[in-house]
């Protein structure tokens, strides 16, 4: 049987390249301001927004690859219960959520419509982690991620 690991890793990288493209577009085209975010100093805001977006996305990609590595080369699926695997997935998901929350509270401050910035961090972090893990988990754990059974039925 051929190994899907290189293909899955490339596809996960592709998913996070889309994330990086969204971050780049948000910063270079100043999407937060276009969506009504009011700030004092735009350049300082965008610098800090880029840094915290990279932090949220970086934690997300790290946890997604950690999930893949654990599922592929960690304990076999029959050595841990599905509940233990689910707990591992949720622990990594919680780390990603905490990274996004840290970005919200430690990142740049907006005087108006700060929720737009928070939504951006949630997209870069938890949303892309979920997308990467639901689509490209290894064979041993591909049905552990909540919702993966519905998505993978057609594949």
Q: What are phi and psi of 38, to 5 degrees?
A: -105, 130
Q: Which residue has the higher pLDDT, 15 or 81?
A: 15
Contact between 67 and 88 (Cβ < 8 Å): yes
What does the block give as tokens for 102?
């840290």
- Taking the alpha carbons at both ends of the chain, their separation in whole angstroms is 18
> In whole angstroms, what is the distance from residue 53 CA to residue 37 CA?
16
Q: What are phi and psi of 27, to 5 degrees?
A: -80, -50
User: Per-residue pLDDT averaged across 10-27, rounded?
Assistant: 96
The residues near 4 (Cβ < 8 Å, ≥ 6 apart) are 138, 139
Write out pLDDT tens, residues 49-92. Answer: 999 999 999 999 999 999 999 999 988 767 888 899 999 999 99
Evaluate if residue 8 carries a pLDDT over 60.
yes
Parse the chain into domains and list their residue ranges: 5-144
At 128 the pLDDT is 97
Global pTM reads 0.92
């Amino acid at each position: 049987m051929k190994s899907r690991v290189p293909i899955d890793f490339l596809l996960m990288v592709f998913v996070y390249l889309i994330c990086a493209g969204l971050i780049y577009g948000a910063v270079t085209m100043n999407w937060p301001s276009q969506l009504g975010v009011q700030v004092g100093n735009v350049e300082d805001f965008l610098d800090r927004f880029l840094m915290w977006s990279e932090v949220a996305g970086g934690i997300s990609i790290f946890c997604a690859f950690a999930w893949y590595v654990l599922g592929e080369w960690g304990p076999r699926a029959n050595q841990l219960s599905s509940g233990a695997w689910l707990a591992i997935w949720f622990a990594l998901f919680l780390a990603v959520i905490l990274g996004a929350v840290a970005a919200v509270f430690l990142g740049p401050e907006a005087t108006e419509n700060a929720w737009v910035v928070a939504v951006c961090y949630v997209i870069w972090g938890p949303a892309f982690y979920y997308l990467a893990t639901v689509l490209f988990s290894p064979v041993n754990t591909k049905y552990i991620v909540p919702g993966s059974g519905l998505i993978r039925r057609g594949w």
